[in-house]
Amino acid sequence: MSRKKITRRVFVSSVVMAAGTVALGKAFPTHDILRPEVNADPLQKVSLGKSSIKTTLLGMGTGFNGYNRSAAITRAGTAEAMIRYAYDSGIRFFDCADTYGTHQFVSKSLKGFPRDNYTISSKIWVGQGGIPEPERPGADIVVDRFRKELGTDYLDVIQLHCMTNAGWTDEYKKQMDLLENLKAKGIIRAHGVSVHSLEAMEAAAASPWVDVIHVRINPFGVAMDSKDPEKIIPVIKKLHASGKGVIGMKLIGNGNFRNDSDKIDQSLRYVLGLGTIDMIIAGFEKPEQIDNYISRVESALITLKERKK
């Protein structure tokens, strides 16, 4: 895979991801369990659990500060250029959602490239608010619209977006069944959830239906499903042990420590060193953030591999 020359710029207007407050000086345990198959390349291909999906260790989230079908990059008018820059830099995973309004930009940015050369993930909003329409049609209808917006015959991953209660597997069983049928037809390759509570994550860990899950994780407990990351770690281990693809998000606390170089590096080493996260995603607003993040992930991987010697 071709890569641009990585620059080590100062991370001042850096990667943007989750929100919250950081307790300065907070100590946290390190795990340093980098999986043996993972090398020092941030753009290496990894498997999402037991699914058939292989994609880059680092992916791009297109929905930083996303709501009501808009996101930071769509409001800035830079979405198409940023997605294309990420692709040209070697990133092959693009995370979307109905609430972000980025489908059309992904379609335009990646037009002409072989469809099997990149991975598209998107999420269905089933709760109140979030998108302009009050109706919540079946997942089959929504996915059909997604395919048209993205200009693709199939989607790699479709998830139920932002599950917060322990009973979501019962509440949304109809949607889950529809997605299972779409997977059987080859219209989607995998299904799952993004979760925003520890109870919802526990339910996902217990559900054989979940193929791929987004989890919020950083060592500082910022914008996570618990302020204590050590309460999240055992659940992530359950998810990983059951063969689910685990995608780490909110590593930089929604940009809360975006200007703190030490915290960024600590978070990357912490999350990558868990040994239970298949890949990570980050939201970017400027091209130099992509360059810098690739460089930081590379440094974190090198450090973790050195520690294992």
pLDDT in tens, 275-299: 999 999 999 999 999 999 999 999 9
- How much is the pLDDT for 49? 97
Instruction: Please write the tens of the pLDDT for every residue from 115-142.
Output: 999 999 999 999 999 999 999 999 999 9
Q: What is the pLDDT of residue 29?
A: 62
Instruction: Give dist(CA 3, CA 290) in Å, integer.
Output: 12
Identify the pLDDT of residue 255: 81
Greater pLDDT, 159 or 254: 159
What local confidence, expressed as pLDDT, does residue 2 receive? Answer: 46
d(CA 250, CA 221): 10
Q: Do 184 and 154 form a contact (C-beta atoms < 8 A)?
A: no
Mean pLDDT of 55-74: 95
pTM tops 0.85, yes or no: yes
Average pLDDT over residues 150-176: 98
Q: Is the pLDDT reported for residue 53 higher than 90?
A: yes
Which tokens hold the place of 92?
Answer: 């092959």
CA 139 to chain centre: 21
pLDDT tens digits for range 170-180: 999 999 999 99
Model confidence at 3, pLDDT cuts 50, 70, 90, reads low
- Is 268 in contact with 251 (CB distance < 8 Å)? yes
Nearest Cα to 62, choosing from 74, 76, 45? 74
Question: pLDDT above 70 covers what percent of the chain?
Answer: 90
Tell me: pLDDT of 8 over 50: no
Which own/partner pairs from 183-187 qualify as long-range (CB within 8 Å, at least 24 positions apart)?
A: 186/154, 187/143, 187/147, 187/153, 187/154, 187/155
Q: What's the rounded mean pLDDT across residues 15-31?
A: 45
- pLDDT of 99 strictly over 50: yes
Query: pLDDT band at 26, cuts 50/70/90?
Result: very low
20 vs 171, residue with greater confidence: 171
**How many other CB atoms are there within 10 angstroms of residue 26's CB atom?**
10
Considering the chain, what is the average pLDDT of its residues?
91
pLDDT at 254: 85
Q: Cα(279)–Cα(271) distance, rounded to whole angstroms?
A: 10
pLDDT digits (tens, 9 = 90+) for 207-241: 999 999 999 999 999 999 999 999 999 999 999 99
Percent of the chain with pLDDT over 90: 83
Q: Would you state the pLDDT for residue 258?
A: 84
Identify the pLDDT of residue 309: 65
pLDDT greater than 90 at residue 27? no
Give the CATH number of domain 45-307: 3.20.20.100
Q: Report in angstroms the alpha-carbon separations of 163 from 33, 85, 174.
A: 29, 31, 15
pLDDT of residue 9: 39
Please report, for the chain, the start and end positions of each structural domain, with discontinuous segments joined by +: 45-307
Residue 255 and residue 100: Cα distance in Å, rounded?
18
Q: How many CB atoms lie within 10 A of CB 40?
A: 16
- 7-21, 22-36, 67-81, 131-145: least confidently modelled range: 7-21
- For the ranges 62-71, 160-169, 251-260, the one whose mean pLDDT is highest: 160-169
- Predicted pLDDT of residue 82: 98
